[in-house]
Amino acid sequence: LRQPLPENLHARYRAIRNQTLRLVGPLQKEDFVVQPIVDVSPPKWHLAHTTWFFETFVLVSNATDYNLFDKSFPYLFNSYYISAGDRWSRADRGNLTRPSVDEVFAYREYVDEAMEKLILEADLTSEQLHVIEVGFHHEQQHQELLLYDIKYIFGHNPTFPVYKGDSENEDKLPVIAIKWLPIKKGNYHIGHEGDFFCFDNELRRHEVHLEGFEIANRLVTNGEYLDFMKSGGYSDHSFWLSDGWDWIQSNKLECPLYWFEEDGEWKMFGLSGLKKLNINEPVAHVSYYEADAYAKWAGLRLPTEFEWEMAAMEYGTESLSSGNFVDDHLMRPKAGESLDFFGNLWEWTASAYLPYPYYQAPPGALGEYNGKFMINQMVLRGGSYATPQSHIRPTYRNFFQPNMRWLFNGIRLARFI
């Protein structure tokens, strides 16, 4: 069990909970309720669900004098924890016009008061401290999802609302040439070690063998992806995995999500509104299928998550602090970056999301957090411009189904030496 320093706990609780409120600051009430597709949850639901997490896993199980804010909320705001009881259907989250946005804000305040009292006054066990720490990281994950979902909601509104205006000119920085960073053939240690927090899926640390390979120093740009599109990348089946080919056919796809062609000019929707496509910015919002097809078209491949982790440790650790994270408030991918393994955009890897050797799901409801999703998903690494900097680690494993592309992800290429 990994536990935070207790003296920081209260300040961290407040900072993380307040950050969620800051992120929804630019929204109007109507924005909080809609669910345009099943993968996108209404912002109101995220606010309530992260609160339910603390209420259920910390307050209800620890504070004997705690009374639920509302008896219907555990049913409404449990996401997927079967052992925590029945729950409202995920696809119908957008139908919950009640509880109102104001009631959900009041729910947050009520739970915050009880949580802060517990943190300040109770003699917490290391088990309790660990669950609170999981609650912090859970809330940070939802902060990132909130931005994905806000972007989807605004990006599918014909008026293309602006979430945050750009204060300066778009990046004028030129694209730097691709440099290939070598990693020697050998056995390497993968996975988390140390006393600080990690999710269960980063354990246990184990050895893997890697063939010698090289990885690109930067992400693929919009301009490069446009070349793939212009050369018929979406109409040549030889670049595509069978599932991906079927998927682009049935969805009639021929460009990344949020790209729009108007009078022969490409535009892109971002959190700062609809803009001319910046060809120097890293390409984002491509599915695993598209990332893989692009790599094949380029005569290259995606790195495995193990290759990625070793390369990031060797070449990218500076970006753990200097990378483009949500803390920088840029709210878009940054052009002209090099060695940006951390921040900017999550990077698809060629690795299926599977348990590491000796993996064990924790006991109880929190055992449902990661382990049961280890099927039909691909691993992404490194974090994005929507990730809190304090949330990421070199061993962090994100995962999504290969057809997902509303997340903030990009493409980094690799090749064998």
Q: Which residues bind Fe ion (CB under 5 A)?
A: 79
Paired tokens of 141: 């994950």
Nearer to Fe ion, 41 or 395 (CB): 41
Q: State in angstroms the smallest separation of the CB of 102 from Fe ion.
A: 22
Sequence letter at residue 202: E
Beta bridge partners of 362: none
Alpha carbons within 13 A on the beta-carbon side of 389? 13
Residue with tokens 């900017």: 344
Nearer to Fe ion, 160 or 373 (CB): 373
Nearer to Fe ion, 90 or 172 (CB): 90
Nearer to Fe ion, 37 or 120 (CB): 37
As a whole number of angstroms, the distance between CA 295 and CA 74 comes to: 44
Label residues 288-308 b or e (16+ Cβ within 10 Å = b): bbbbbbbbbbbebbbbbbbbb
Q: State in angstroms the smallest separation of the CB of 52 from Fe ion.
A: 9
Residue of 198, 91, 39, 59 whose CA lies nearest to 134? 198
Indicate the DSSP class of residue 60: I
E strand map for 156-233:
180-183, 186-190, 206-210, 213-216
Handedness of CA 131, 391, 139, 117 (dihedral sign): positive
Burial of residue 156 (CB within 10 Å: 0-12, 13-18, 19+) is middle
Nearer to Fe ion, 298 or 365 (CB): 365
First-residue to last-residue Cα distance in the chain:
40
306 φ, ψ to 5°? -75, -45
Q: State in angstroms the smallest separation of the CB of 192 from Fe ion.
A: 21
Coil, helix or strand at residue 409 = strand
Coil, helix or strand at residue 36 = coil
Nearer to Fe ion, 152 or 289 (CB): 152
Nearest position to Fe ion, beta carbon: 79
Paired tokens of 410: 């990009």
Tell me if 324 sits within 8 A of 343, measured CB to CB: yes
Q: State in angstroms the smallest separation of the CB of 99 from Fe ion.
A: 18
Sequence letter at residue 242: S
